[in-house]
Structure 1
Amino acid sequence: MGHPGPQIRGPKRTLRLIGDAFLWTAAIAGLICIALVIAAQIFNVSLIMFKTGSMSPTIPAGSVALMQEISASEVKSGDIITVDRPGDLPVTHRVISVEPIDNGQWRVEMKGDANVQPDPLPYDVVEVRQTMGHLPDLATVIVSLGSPWVLGGMTLGAAGLVTWAFWPRSQRTGTKG
């Protein structure tokens, strides 16, 4: 009966197990990212980062919210929605009134929870993004991942893992007697 192959022992075995764990983790993270992108397309969801505190304390600055695109006809007073503004950043506030106008459009008045006054003008919309939930302080983490130093470190780490994974290994031959 032949020997099943070389046995790796000691520090080399530990390093190999750690490397394998990192590779499996990276592969699973990649699959999760692909699944999330597909789910986002199928369920029409996206993420939005909050730079200001106009929705505090409900949604503090630095939060990330999960948003789903819906028809404006589904919006109710009290909902937290995001409307796009041509030539400007989108705004996310609480709906204080909604009424149909014409051609499938709805007029929505909104106010930030931390604001004293409602938004100066109503928004005429067909579709909006409704807040499904949020995570405080996640925007800070996401923004920091965009740092050149972090991106460079992740690139070097990934290159090191790929190099390590495909580096030729010496094969010991022989059998134990």
Structure 2
Amino acid sequence: MRHIRPRRRSATRFVGQVAAWGVIVGVTASIAAAVAAPRLAGATPYAVLSGSMTPTYGVGALVVTRDVDPATLGVGDVVTYQLRSGEPQTATHRVVAVRQQLDGEREFITQGDANAAADPLPVRPVQIRGEVWYSVPYLGYAHTWLDPGQRGLAITVVAALLFGYAAVMLAGAARDRVRVRRAIV
């Protein structure tokens, strides 16, 4: 029977593996935050395109909003709303005042955290797309660079690469295990 000394891992290989796992965990967490969690919860991701909410949400952040009953909103809540009712352009700002109109409908006065003054037009409940649930810094850049079809393709490619990496790691571990068994016998 031959005695085999266990191979020592080089520091470079160890650092490489730690870095690879860091990338895998980071990519997986990003996908979960940007795609899986919003889809499962019925929420909607939006990219922050201006600095009006700095430092709370910086340019390039991804804010995820979920549906909210406008009757439950109050001062301090951060909402995403249509700039003009029925149009796709949105903004994400903080509610700084709530007013009651003569017909009983509520309206919200909003303001960006970095802005010196409130927004010029009040926001009607029909314009509210949701209340901010959470945000992920810098992930909004990827959201704006890719259209919805490209996002789906990018997620598929990243998932395939992660599974491929896992398969290579498992195959390498199995190969090493076989070598050790052969050497012992």
TM-score by length of 1: 0.55
Structure having the larger proportion of residues in strand: 1
Instruction: Give, as a single letter, the amino acid of the residue that structure 2 aligns with 1:46.
Output: T
Alignment gaps of 5+ in structure 1: 1-25, 163-177
Task: Indicate if the aligned counterparts of 2:62 and 2:140 stay in contact, CA closer than 8 A.
Answer: no
The partner residue of 2:74 within 69, 73, 76 is 76
The Cα of 1:40 is off from its aligned counterpart by 3.2
Q: How many residues align?
A: 163
Query: For 1:98 and 1:128, how far apart are their aligned partners in 2?
Result: 17
Indicate whether 1:133 and 2:134 are aligned.
yes
Q: Alignment partner of 2:89: what SS?
A: strand
Structure having the larger proportion of residues in helix: 2
Query: For 1:102 and 1:78, how far apart are their aligned partners in 2?
Result: 24
Structure 2 match to 1:112: 112
The Cα of 1:104 is off from its aligned counterpart by 7.9
Quick check: 69-78 or 121-130, which moved more?
121-130
Structure 2 match to 1:90: 90
Quick check: 60-69 or 70-79, which moved more?
60-69
Quick check: 58-67 or 98-107, which moved more?
98-107
Query: For 2:161 and 2:141, how far apart are their aligned partners in 1?
Result: 19
Task: Indicate if the aligned counterparts of 1:63 and 1:134 stay in contact, CA closer than 8 A.
Answer: yes
Structure 1 match to 2:54: 56
Structure label with greater radius of gyration = 1
The Cα of 1:132 is off from its aligned counterpart by 2.1
TM-score by length of 2: 0.53
Query: For 2:38 and 2:91, how far apart are their aligned partners in 1?
Result: 24
